[in-house]
Structure 1
C-alpha cells in the first residue's frame, strides 16, 4: 500500500494531528506526575503506576511541528505573516500560564520551585535557558527548541530555499551526527551553536517535514522515504539508543496517520484533548507539582493526588484555551489582517 493519503491535509491536521498532540501532552503529564515527581521530589507513599515512556511524547511533538510548520510556510505570503501567526499562537497563552503558575508556586508550591524573580522575568522571553535563567515550569525547555526551529525555518523561507529542503535536511543530519560523535568522544562542542541549531532534536523535525511532503508530493515519495530512513540512521548514530526506538515508534505512528488508519482520533474526546493540548502542556508541571506536594502532605495517597492534579490542570487548561489562547490569537490575526488589507482603488 502506498504511503500517501488521499485526504486533504487540512482535514487531517485539524483532527488527527491535534489529537496526537493531545495524547503526547497527556503522556508527558503522566510521566511528570508519576515517575519524574517521584525522582525529583519523592512521593510520600507508593505510586501505583509509572509512565516512564511518557517522557518521549516530546519527540512526537517535534514530528508534528515539522509537519505543521512546513505546511504553514508553504501557505505563507510574507515573513511577517508567519511571525504574527506564531506569536499569536504561542505567546498570549504562554505569558498567561507563567502568571498563573507563579501565583500557585509562590502561594502553595514547594520552596524549591520558587525561583528568583529575575529568572521568572527571563521566562517571558521563551529562550530563558540560553540566557542562563531557570524555567519556572520544567516543561518550558521544549518551547525554546520549538522557537529556534521556527526561526530557522523562517530564515530558509526568506532565502527562498524551502524548495531545497532535501539538501537542508541532509546538512541537518550531518551536523547532528557530527555533534553526537564529538560528544561521545568527549570533544568540546559549542553549547550555544548546538542550541541554536537544535542539533539534539532536528532529525525528529525533519521526519515530520518529510511526512508532509509524502502527503502533498507523492511523486517524490521514494526520495522522501529514503530520507526518513537516513533520519533514523542519524538518530541511531547521534543519540542514546532508546531514542532510535522512539524515532521508529513515532515514524510508525505517522505512517499510520498517512495511511488514514488513525480516524479513531476524530472521536470528540480526542479532539477536545487536542484543542487544549498547548495550554495543558504550559500549565501542568509547576502547578501540578505544587498540588501533589500539598495533597500528599495532608495525607492524600500519591495516586489520588496525581489524579486530582491532572483534573485541576485540565480544568485550568480548558479555561486558558477558550478564554485566552483562542480569543487572543484570533484578535491578533484579525488586527494584522486589517493592517495589511488591500487598499481599495
Structure 2
C-alpha cells in the first residue's frame, strides 16, 4: 500500500523499546510492587517505581504498529488471525505455567478460586469480574479492546478519517477524566470498553506513525499530539503528563532515526522475548523471591535470581510456544486463503 517507509531495522528499534519497557516493568514489580504487596524481608532499598510507566510506552508502540498493520491488511480476518496468533498461544501457555507454579509453591493470596482462574483464559477477566492470576495481565485487556476498536474502524472504512476518530477519543477521555476528578457519574461500560483512561497514549502512537509515514501532514499531526497531551493534562493525574512527554520524546527520536543505537544483539534479544517476559515475570517472580527470602537470601539477590528465572522462562515460552504456534497458525491461514482464491 503505497511507498514503504518503515525498514526492518526501524522495527527492530520498536522491538527494542518493547524489551526495555518489559525490563522496566519487571524492575518495578520485583522491587517496589513486591515491597508494597508482600514486603521484602529486611526491606528493599531500591525503588524502581518509575518502571511501572513502561506500560504506557507499550501503548504508544501498539498505536504505531497496529495502525501500520491495518494499512497493510487486506481483510478483517487477516488482522484477527494475525493478532490472535500473536497474543493467545503464548498467553494461554503462560497462564498454565503460572498456575502450576502459583498453586504448587505460591502464596495463598496468589491462588485464585477455580472459576476466576478459568476466566483468566479469556484475557478479559477484569471486565468479567475476576482477579488476574498475574498482576501484569491488566494491560492485555486494554490492548485487546484497542484492537477491537481499530478493527471496527477498519471494517467500516473510516481509518482514513483517523484524526476525527482521535478527536472523538480525546474529547471523551477528557470528559471522563473531569467526571472522575469531580466525582460526577460517567458510564463504567463506556469508560472500560473504549479504554478512555489509556486511549490518548494509543492515539499518540498512531499520530507518530502518521508523522513517520506522511511527513507532509506534520502540522496536523503535531497539533493532534498537543491535543492528546492536553487531554492527558486535564483528564489524568499530574504524573501522567511527564510520562506522556517522555514517551513523545522517545518517539520523536525514533521517527527521526535517533534510536539506531538500540539495534544491538542485547536489545534485539530483549525485544524478541518481551511479550513472553511480560507474561511470566510477576506472579512467578514473586514466588521465587518469597521462597528465597524465606531461606535467608538477601532481597536484592532474590530479585536478581527471580529476574534470571523470568528471562529463562521467557526464552523457553518464546521459542517453544509463541513463535512456532504463531508461524503455524499464520501459515495455515495463508494456505487456506490461497485454496479459496484458486477455487
State the Cα distance separating 1:45 from its structure 2 match.
Answer: 1.1
User: Which residue number in structure 1 is paired with residue 274 of structure 2?
Assistant: 277
- Give the distance between the partners of 1:344 and 1:229, measured in 2 at CA: 49
User: Which residue number in structure 1 is paired with residue 211 of structure 2?
Assistant: 214
Q: Does residue 1:107 correspond to 2:104, yes or no?
A: yes
Q: Which runs of 5+ in 2 are unaligned?
A: none
State the Cα distance separating 1:180 from its structure 2 match.
Answer: 0.4
User: Which residue number in structure 1 is paired with residue 164 of structure 2?
Assistant: 167
Q: Deviations over 1:213-256 (max 9, x none)?
A: 11111111110011001100110001000000000000000011
* Structure 2 counterpart of 1:149, from 135, 138, 146: 146
- Give the distance between the partners of 1:294 and 1:8, measured in 2 at CA: 49
* SS of equivalent residue, structure 1 residue 73: helix
- Give the distance between the partners of 1:78 and 1:312, measured in 2 at CA: 40
User: Which residue number in structure 1 is paired with residue 246 of structure 2?
Assistant: 249
* Structure 2 counterpart of 1:317, from 314, 317, 329: 314
The root-mean-square deviation of aligned C-alpha atoms, in Å, is 1.2
Contact 1:207 1:231 survives alignment (8 Å): yes
Please give the TM-score of this superposition, normalised by the length of structure 1.
0.97
State the Cα distance separating 1:193 from its structure 2 match.
Answer: 1.6
- Give the distance between the partners of 2:185 and 2:291, measured in 1 at CA: 43
* SS of equivalent residue, structure 2 residue 184: coil
Q: Which runs of 5+ in 1 are unaligned?
A: 1-5
State the Cα distance separating 1:203 from its structure 2 match.
Answer: 0.4
User: Which residue number in structure 1 is paired with residue 36 of structure 2?
Assistant: 39
Contact 1:296 1:302 survives alignment (8 Å): yes
Q: Deviations over 1:132-163 (max 9, x none)?
A: 00100000000000000000000000000000
Q: Flag as ranges the 4+ runs of structure 1 deviating above 6 A.
A: none
* SS of equivalent residue, structure 1 residue 124: helix
* Structure 1 counterpart of 2:55, from 58, 62, 66: 58
Contact 2:35 2:43 survives alignment (8 Å): no
Change (3 A) 1:12 1:63: farther
- Give the distance between the partners of 1:290 and 1:7, measured in 2 at CA: 46
- Give the distance between the partners of 1:125 and 1:146, measured in 2 at CA: 13
Contact 2:172 2:196 survives alignment (8 Å): yes
- Give the distance between the partners of 1:44 and 1:167, measured in 2 at CA: 52
State the Cα distance separating 1:8 from its structure 2 match.
Answer: 3.5
Change (3 A) 1:10 1:195: farther
State the Cα distance separating 1:10 from its structure 2 match.
Answer: 3.7
Q: Deviations over 1:192-227 (max 9, x none)?
A: 221100000000000000111111111111100110
Contact 1:34 1:50 survives alignment (8 Å): yes
Equivalenced residues, count: 340
- Give the distance between the partners of 1:80 and 1:7, measured in 2 at CA: 23
User: Which residue number in structure 2 is paired with residue 185 of structure 1?
Assistant: 182
Change (3 A) 1:13 1:84: farther
Q: Deviations over 1:22-74 (max 9, x none)?
A: 00000000000000000111010132311010010010000000000000000
* Structure 2 counterpart of 1:136, from 133, 137, 144: 133
Contact 2:211 2:217 survives alignment (8 Å): yes
User: Which residue number in structure 1 is paired with residue 292 of structure 2?
Assistant: 295
Please give the TM-score of this superposition, normalised by the length of structure 2.
0.97
* SS of equivalent residue, structure 1 residue 59: helix
